[in-house]
Chains A and B, each alone.
Chain A
């Protein structure tokens, strides 16, 4: 079984996880105080008798539990995530509108933290105990401990309020009407602060991990052998050390994807980024359970996609995987 088989098995695992999350959703809504119909309708004065009766019928709340579960799961499979009474729109539509900007933000932050983390970690490891190494270690400790939301606020305070270099909030300049490349630049300009805020913690994590990993691989015999053979030092770092040292970092990145996606709630709320993280925040404040659980389901699915993506990167980078799988 080669790469395709490996990916296929991962895909199957992802599908099972998604199904399990739907089941979890189903029980969560029933754990809410009161009748699930009441919870589904939300507390926003939406609970008039007629609507409740309709909800009870739609969800088959008078039927047996496993039948209810089947109805509920069928809804998710057909991408019917329910109706947000507060927004007066189907949940799937609300999410679909916001999903692209979240994907843009998270993928950029994911790639940025991974690439820079590996670069910084490697540089630190190759100059162990130098001032560069010490600086990175201290910075990593700092970013481990800074609350994401505070970092975001402080970066607004510094770069938008005091220095006035970067826009504090939003996705693009309102009313500027940029098109084409100008629009891309405008969005990129607005993206800098949220992306950096979201990335820094993970950058610290990956840098520390990459440092430890590079140090370990550097001590392996095949590196000594390569040196003894007179292989060029740059090639030793790239082809011998990094190729092996990067593997635990990639695994970790896949593992952290859920945290990254969860972090968007904070970052998008603070920077008024029109994504599903902010949608989740609004749903939480408005007690819009249907919408909140819809976002919960979709972000979980997004993590499954991220994990698949990570596995894919892994198969490309790890030379052993074809054999191992």
Chain B
């Protein structure tokens, strides 16, 4: 662990990214305490400029507090990011692991299926899924997961394919261990480093996707999110720049921080993951 941290620490950008990520997590966790009122509440006069004594980041056209929206929006972004990264990783491991381990026709079939999902314009598929299952936090998570798992599957397949021919795996086969057990207890732990790195990048891309859906008005209508705030600011961009600038910066900094953390993890775990295997 100390070795891990020592290597991570050497990447200064990654340390900075980690600091920003911790700040975002603290912001999300403390939102109900710092801004106990609903972020939808009409708290003050409309169109208050930033640096107002009460509303530091100003208010929107209905007098909603932008700062409260950003704090509560962090919860949505992190929830969607983590949930989809987790779900996509599990699906990716299941499909990619099976394909890489089984090889042959199973591999062929599963990979054609994965390729199909990579050909379809992912964002449009996400829109179709959200619209068909009607927008909610669950349908958003399902939709983003549906378009996020294919690269994981390809990555995991590659790892499993290489590891399968290694001696320790062959030995497990010879002593008669079951396939499922070999996959989970022998191969998977060795395949984990690149998967972890990819998962951290996936949190970032999921946050971008969620914000894009919310921006288009296809997010959960009950929850305040960064994308929604920017979408709401579109028509008043000429008079209220702060309404779109602050939530946009929040998305940008969070995603940038996650990407930097991903690079730090790459350095620390030193997996054979090319840096360009993103998205």
Question: Chain A residues in contact with chain B, CB under 8 A?
Answer: 17, 20-21, 24, 28-29, 31-33, 39, 141-142, 144-150, 153-154, 156-157, 161, 205, 208-209, 212, 252, 255-256, 258-259, 261-263, 265-266, 269-270, 280-281, 284-285, 287, 289, 292-293, 295-296, 299-300, 303-304, 307
New contact pairs (20) apart from A144-B255, A256-B279, CB-CB < 8 Å:
A21-B119, A28-B129, A145-B256, A147-B211, A147-B212, A149-B212, A149-B227, A153-B248, A154-B248, A157-B237, A157-B244, A258-B122, A259-B121, A259-B279, A265-B216, A269-B216, A289-B131, A289-B132, A292-B131, A303-B119
Q: How far is the CA of A300 from the CA of B121 in the complex (A)?
A: 6
* Cβ-neighbour of B244 out of A141, A148, A150 (below 8 A): A150
Do A262 and B123 touch across chains, with their CB atoms under 8 A apart?
A: yes
| Of listed B211, B217, B276, residue having the most chain A CB within 10 A | B276
Question: Chain B residues in contact with chain A, CB under 8 A?
Answer: 115-116, 118-125, 127-134, 204, 208, 211-212, 215-218, 227, 230-231, 233-234, 237-238, 241, 244-245, 248, 251-253, 255-256, 259-260, 274-276, 278-279
Q: How far is the CA of A150 from the CA of B227 in the complex (A)?
A: 9
Which of chain B's residues have a CB closer than 8 A to the CB of A33? 133-134
Do B251 and A147 touch across chains, with their CB atoms under 8 A apart?
A: yes
**Distance to closest chain B CB from A22 (angstroms):** 12
- Name 14 A/B residue pairs within 8 A (Cβ), A-sorted: A28-B128, A145-B204, A147-B251, A150-B230, A209-B276, A212-B275, A258-B121, A261-B124, A266-B212, A281-B127, A292-B131, A296-B124, A296-B128, A300-B121
Which of chain A's residues have a CB closer than 8 A to the CB of B234? 153, 270
Q: How far is the CA of A138 from the CA of B133 in the complex (A)?
A: 39
**Distance to closest chain B CB from A317 (angstroms):** 19
**Distance to closest chain B CB from A118 (angstroms):** 14
Do A148 and B212 touch across chains, with their CB atoms under 8 A apart?
A: yes
Which of chain A's residues have a CB closer than 8 A to the CB of B275? 208, 212
| Of listed B121, B123, B127, B253, residue having the most chain A CB within 10 A | B121
Do A259 and B123 touch across chains, with their CB atoms under 8 A apart?
A: yes
Do B119 and A300 touch across chains, with their CB atoms under 8 A apart?
A: yes
Do B132 and A31 touch across chains, with their CB atoms under 8 A apart?
A: yes
Q: How far is the CA of A157 from the CA of B233 in the complex (A)?
A: 12
Interface of A is mostly: helix
Which of chain A's residues have a CB closer than 8 A to the CB of B260? 141
Closest to B276 in A: A209
**Distance to closest chain B CB from A138 (angstroms):** 10
Which of chain A's residues have a CB closer than 8 A to the CB of B218? 284
Closest to A154 in B: B248
Do A284 and B238 touch across chains, with their CB atoms under 8 A apart?
A: no
Do A303 and B121 touch across chains, with their CB atoms under 8 A apart?
A: yes
Do A258 and B276 touch across chains, with their CB atoms under 8 A apart?
A: no
Which of chain A's residues have a CB closer than 8 A to the CB of B212? 147-149, 266
Closest to B123 in A: A262
* Cβ-neighbour of A208 out of B123, B134, B276 (below 8 A): B276
Do A262 and B124 touch across chains, with their CB atoms under 8 A apart?
A: yes
Which of chain B's residues have a CB closer than 8 A to the CB of A258? 118-122
Do A295 and B124 touch across chains, with their CB atoms under 8 A apart?
A: yes
Do B244 and A153 touch across chains, with their CB atoms under 8 A apart?
A: yes
Given contacts A31-B132, A32-B132, A153-B244, contact A304 B127 (CB under 8 A): no
Q: How far is the CA of A261 from the CA of B120 in the complex (A)?
A: 10
Q: How far is the CA of A252 from the CA of B116 in the complex (A)?
A: 16
* Cβ-neighbour of B276 out of A17, A146, A157, A212 (below 8 A): A212
Given contacts A154-B248, A258-B119, A265-B124, contact A149 B237 (CB under 8 A): no
Do B120 and A303 touch across chains, with their CB atoms under 8 A apart?
A: yes
* Cβ-neighbour of B217 out of A21, A161, A285 (below 8 A): A285
